[in-house]
């Protein structure tokens, strides 16, 4: 399987709605790791994707697209004359790549440690081995597997006593936290919920009879019934202790497993069930909204908005005529504030500026070619770029945008994407923006006024923005608009079905030029030439 590199993907930065000074841009981010680990049947690494241990998610090694910016100051926003601020941007691709890479490196690191220990032990003389067998303290892999099997069974049986059995009863805070986790997990529609070993670090054997303490990375393999296409995984790091020969194993600490790569410090940790002592779960026909119990009122209010956004995006997808395995529903969490937005399903290393994010979850079992088994949408309902009092347009847009990222995430073939760059953001974000504003003219976008100003000023070279330049200061919102304009032009000139076919082809591994040739019948350069003229006409 592949290790997940956690990258932010599928989010959105808000376009300026009010006059801004370039210092307050919000964005929506789209992110999903790429890899396809196997639960017991690891897949060989392909291209830049390393393989992960059985039962663990592969590492997404490419940059996930999809995020929304929140105002000038972030890429895409800059000091502009008093105009409505653009909405946030999405960074889905970044999340994906990071997630995959993280998992990969983490697994590789753990494997290296295990191999080193094994080789060292094989090199020992027979006498010390005999002494260790007689007097030593040892923890075997079979013991760890059995421990996690019992832990998995306890969760499935809803047996709290058995679930808490591995945790040191003297660590009251740890036991209390695991009790809350058990209760939270019991509120969720888990079709799959099991624990597997990822890797371990530290001594598991002491020949002199002293106790051993080591770190065990554990994946929580889970699948939400009706939402995830395949099982996905969150990674924990357990500190495991055996004090004397024959003593029971004790877990004395639990945290998130550190990510080796990407902009998250952890691998899909913490989930809402870890982060909040009491979660509230709100379900609609196609959404599973999980929030802190303190946001139950917001969950009830915005679950209806999210459901309507899903219905809109599903209708667009059906009209697009593409046949593909897509999710039947989406898992959404609502937060208030950037601190919570940047610490759910990730621990952001960078400043969190987006207003929403779609994080792709790497499949632990690659089924029917699906690399991304599901996604987790997180939206900051405290962000005034989309959730100002009385604003009904903003919430609809951000949910449509993030759902749009999650809708096509499972189409992405990680093996055929560039490990470092991924799909072009003008396609990823442009498609999500198109869905956010579908049914409206391009001029209705809050980003249009700013974009027209830049085009009229002559400060634009007429080309599609590259991923390298995407976050250029003062340009993020403009780049979102250019992607939106590209998708709108494609739909108007060639038909909306061609738009969906083009995006699908790119996600499935065709280059942008190949997708243009296959779907539109022209090279990408010719499409870009027509699009440039279209953009300049929009700016008149």
Name the pLDDT band for 254 (thresholds 50, 70, 90): very high
Answer yes or no: is pLDDT of 309 > 80: yes
Q: Which residues contact 428 (CB under 8 A, 6 or more apart)?
A: 9, 10, 30, 64, 65, 66, 90, 92, 93, 405, 422, 483
What percentage of the chain exceeds 90 in pLDDT? 68
* Coil/strand/helix, residue 86: coil
Contact 424, 521 (CB under 8 A): no
Name the architecture of domain 105-272.
Answer: Roll (3.10)
What's the pLDDT tens digit per position in 312-326? 999 999 999 998 889
Q: Do 427 and 512 contact (CB within 8 A), yes or no?
A: yes
What is the phi/psi pair of residue 296, to 5°? -60, -40
Residue ranges in 73-217 assigned as alpha helix (H): 93-122, 126-135, 141-157, 160-164, 172-185
Is 70 exceeded by the pLDDT of residue 409? yes
Output the pLDDT for position 57: 38
Average pLDDT over residues 10-34: 42
What does the pLDDT average to over 276-292? 98
With a cut of 50, say whether residue 482 has pLDDT above it.
Answer: yes
Range from 39-48, 329-338, 416-425, 507-516 carrying the lowest mean pLDDT: 39-48
What does the H/E/C string look like for 280-315? EEEECCCEEEEEEHHHHHHHHHHHHHHHHHHHHHHH
CA torsion sign for 487, 493, 495, 501 is negative
Bridge partners for 250 per DSSP: 241
C-alpha span between 449 and 456 (Å, rounded): 11
User: Where in 462-506 does DSSP place strands (E)?
Assistant: none
Q: 183 exposed, middle or buried (CB, 10 Å; 0-12, 13-18, 19+)? A: middle
CA pseudo-torsion sign 15, 62, 39, 198: negative
Average pLDDT over residues 18-45: 34
Give the β-pairing of 137-138 and 205-206. antiparallel
Please name which of 533, 529, 538 lies closest in space to residue 447, comparing C-alpha atoms.
Answer: 538
Task: Provide the pLDDT confidence category of residue 129 given band limits of 50, 70 and 90.
Answer: low
Helix H, strand E, coil C: the string for 33-71 is CCCCCCCCCCCCCCCCCCECCCCCCCCCCCCCCCECECC
pLDDT at 47 over 80: no
- The segment(s) of the chain belonging to CATH 3.10.450 are 105-272
Mean pLDDT, rounded, for 401-426: 88
**Between these two residues, 354 and 261, which has the higher pLDDT value?**
354
> What is the number of other CB atoms lying within 10 angstroms of the CB of residue 440?
12
Tokens of 388: 């100002």
User: Which one, of 288, 366, 291, lies nearest residue 39 by Cα?
Assistant: 366
Query: pLDDT tens digits for 197-253?
Result: 999 999 999 888 889 999 999 999 999 999 999 999 999 999 999 999 989 999 999
pLDDT at 394 over 90: yes
Residue-wise pLDDT tens digits, 415-470? 787 766 789 999 999 999 999 999 999 999 999 999 999 999 999 999 999 999 99
């Amino acid at each position: 399987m592949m290790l997940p590199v956690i990258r932010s993907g599928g989010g959105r930065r808000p376009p300026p709605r009010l006059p801004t000074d370039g210092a307050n841009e919000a964005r929506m981010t789209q992110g999903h790791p790429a890899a396809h680990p196997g639960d017991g049947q690891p897949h060989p690494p392909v291209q830049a994707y390393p393989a992960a241990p059985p039962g663990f998610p592969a590492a997404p090694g490419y940059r996930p697209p999809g995020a929304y910016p929140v105002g000038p100051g972030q890429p895409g926003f800059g000091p502009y004359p008093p105009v409505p601020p653009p909405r946030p941007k999405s960074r889905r691709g970044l999340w994906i790549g990071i997630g995959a890479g993280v998992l990969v490196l983490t697994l590789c690191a753990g494997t290296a440690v295990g191999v080193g220990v094994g080789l060292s032990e094989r090199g020992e003389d027979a006498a010390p081995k005999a002494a260790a067998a007689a007097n030593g303290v040892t923890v075997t892999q079979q013991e760890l597997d059995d421990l996690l099997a019992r832990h998995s069974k306890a969760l499935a049986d809803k047996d709290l006593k058995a679930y808490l059995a591995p945790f040191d009863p003297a660590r009251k805070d740890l036991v209390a936290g695991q009790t809350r986790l058990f209760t939270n997990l019991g509120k969720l529609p888990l079709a799959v919920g099991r624990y597997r070993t990822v890797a371990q670090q530290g001594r598991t054997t002491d020949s002199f009879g002293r106790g051993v303490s080591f770190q065990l990375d554990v994946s929580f393999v889970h699948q939400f019934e009706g939402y995830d296409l395949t099982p996905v995984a969150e990674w924990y790091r357990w500190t495991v202790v055996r004090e004397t020969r024959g003593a029971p194993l004790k877990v004395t600490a639990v945290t998130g497993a550190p990510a080796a790569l990407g902009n998250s410090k952890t691998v899909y940790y913490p989930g809402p069930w870890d982060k909040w002592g009491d979660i509230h779960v709100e379900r609609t026909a196609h959404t599973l909204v999980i929030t802190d119990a303190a946001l139950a009122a917001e969950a009830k209010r915005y679950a209806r908005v999210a459901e309507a956004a899903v219905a809109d995006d599903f209708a667009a997808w059906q009209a697009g005529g593409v046949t593909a395995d897509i999710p039947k529903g989406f898992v959404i969490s609502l937060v208030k504030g950037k601190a919570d937005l940047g610490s759910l399903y990730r621990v952001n290393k960078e400043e969190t500026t987006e207003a929403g994010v779609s994080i792709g979850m790497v499949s632990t079992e690659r089924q029917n070619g699906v690399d991304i088994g599901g996604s987790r949408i997180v939206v900051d309902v405290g962000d005034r770029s989309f959730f100002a009092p009385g604003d009904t347009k903003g919430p609809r847009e951000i949910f449509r945008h993030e759902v749009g990222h999650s809708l096509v995430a499972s189409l992405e073939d990680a093996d055929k994407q560039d490990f470092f760059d991924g799909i072009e953001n003008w396609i990823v974000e442009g498609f999500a923006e198109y869905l956010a504003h579908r049914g409206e003219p391009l001029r209705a976008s809050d980003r249009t006024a700013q974009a027209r100003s830049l085009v009229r000023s002559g400060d634009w070279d007429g080309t599609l923005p590259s991923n390298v330049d995407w976050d250029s200061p003062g340009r993020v919102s403009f780049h979102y608009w250019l992607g939106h304009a590209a998708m709108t032009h494609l739909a108007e000139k060639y038909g909306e079905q061609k738009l969906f076919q083009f995006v699908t082809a790119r996600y499935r591994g065709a280059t942008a030029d190949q997708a243009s040739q296959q779907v539109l019948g022209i090279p990408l350069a010719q499409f870009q030439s027509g699009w440039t003229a279209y953009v300049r006409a929009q700016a008149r």
